[in-house]
Amino acid sequence: MFNVKDYFHRDEVVELTQKLISIPSHKDIPHQEKEVAEFIYDYCGSHGLEVQLQEVVDQRKNVLAFLRGSGVGNSLMLNGHTDTITPYRMTIDPFHECVRDGYVWGRGAADMKGGLACMITTMVAMKRAGIVPDGDIVFAGVIGEEGKSEGTEHLIHSGIRTSAAIVGEPSNYEYAVGHRGLEWFDVVFTGIASHSGSPENSVNAIEKAAEFIYRAKRELYPKIRQREDEFMGVSLMNVGIIEGGLGQSTVADQCTVKIDRRYIPGETVESVLQEYQDLLNSMKEEDPAMKATIIKSAENVTALNHPPLITPMSEPIVHAVRKALSEVIKRDPKITRGRGWTDAALLSVYGKIPTVVVGPGDIRLSHTEAERIAIRDLVNTVDVYARIIDNFCIKDKIMDENSTLIMD
């Protein structure tokens, strides 16, 4: 009987997580994910997995590892991003904090280098055990999820397809089959500058932007929040950044309002844009001096949109995930509703790959000043991933039912 915990040691997944954290891969690093991708390539290759690098943009690379199957059944992709956000205002060493209090600490620990370590360790352990799944198991470490998601977009365009996929974002022993779509928009207001002491012929772009925000909150917010999906929650809008003006004594001739818009099935990028355009048109009718345009934010523009994820509960991969989680935690797992956007939507919508989000750690610790992941979550998630593979990709069930949740 195969018990995955017989083929790896907890220190192994901890040390791999630490090593991945120690290689910075945020946007201020030259070629951002290049070094961590090359480390994963070498690590997986040294443990007998078939490996491949895909250069995506500016030397930034996806890294793929394969545990080849017999070719007569389901294949599975384990997908995770190798980039992190920047280590802003962290109260710990973001890359070399020691392991303490049962946690691995550092930028990316939860989001999501811990998840990467679990996926890799699972495949290495199965390779050591001589397990041959029915279909290939494909690890995909992809670039750019914290920005444009160029890595998974490139993966889709490269033609790699599997019967199903797991995206290893932190889910705290829950799983997600749906989440909102995400688009970023810039509303650019154009005014006429002048000295603030003689503003008679000027138009203050900041004031026009402020009116737009007020009108959006009064007129759009109530409509948006009435839209709700069972697996995603309500539609949302957030004004995240306002940029404008040249100085306190100058009437501002430009102001940009940057919007984060989370949308659900029944809404589209086009319909969302049209709502904003309708509001701007109404403001223009009332105030001919108002000039504004709305565009997708450059930081978010790729060939593909960022749609909602929805994977039917009837999909076999959903059953496999639920069964694996329940076997490890000894209770029925909950469905996460209202989580943030992930690359799972690209795999599902554009790759036509049924995808579930499940991974180690607590999302509430992601992006925080003291980001960390529990060691027990790392060990348990290797067990969960091995069981998912067993449930989905191996016809003759060989997992040991006595493998249970680690609490220490």
Looking at residue 400, its pLDDT comes to 46
221 CB-near residues (< 8 Å, 6+ apart): 237
Contact 234, 308 (CB under 8 A): no
Instruction: Return the closest-CA partner of residue 135 out of 71, 231, 203.
Output: 71
Instruction: Return the closest-CA partner of residue 290 out of 406, 388, 205.
Output: 205
Looking at residue 405, its pLDDT comes to 59
Per the DSSP assignment, residues forming a β-bridge with 80 are: 141
Looking at residue 338, its pLDDT comes to 83
46 CB-near residues (< 8 Å, 6+ apart): none
Quick check: helix, strand or coil at residue 265? coil
Instruction: Return the closest-CA partner of residue 88 out of 135, 18, 146.
Output: 146
User: From the first residue on, what is the mean pLDDT of each consecutive set of 10 residues in the chain (408 residues)?
Assistant: 88 98 97 98 98 97 97 96 96 96 98 98 97 97 95 96 98 97 97 94 97 97 95 95 96 98 96 97 95 93 92 98 97 93 97 98 95 98 98 71 52
118-141 exposure pattern, b = at least 16 Cβ within 10 A, e = fewer = bbbbbbbbbbebebebbbbbbbbb
22 CB-near residues (< 8 Å, 6+ apart): 95, 96, 106
> Full-prediction pTM beyond 0.85?
yes
Looking at residue 404, its pLDDT comes to 53
What CA–CA distance (Å, rounded) separates 258 from 261?
10
* Six-digit token string for 187: 């509303």
Quick check: helix, strand or coil at residue 214? helix
Looking at residue 310, its pLDDT comes to 95
* Six-digit token string for 276: 């904003």
**3-state helix vs strand vs coil in the chain, percent to 5:** 35, 25, 40
Looking at residue 301, its pLDDT comes to 82
Amino acid in position 59: Q
Contact 160, 152 (CB under 8 A): no
DSSP result, 136-187:
-EEEEEES-TTTT-HHHHHHHHTT---SEEEE----TT-BBSEE-EEEEEEE
DSSP 8-state symbol, 88? T
Looking at residue 401, its pLDDT comes to 45
What ranges make up the beta strands (E) of 269-354? 291-296, 309-310
What CA–CA distance (Å, rounded) separates 390 from 305?
33
Amino acid in position 391: N
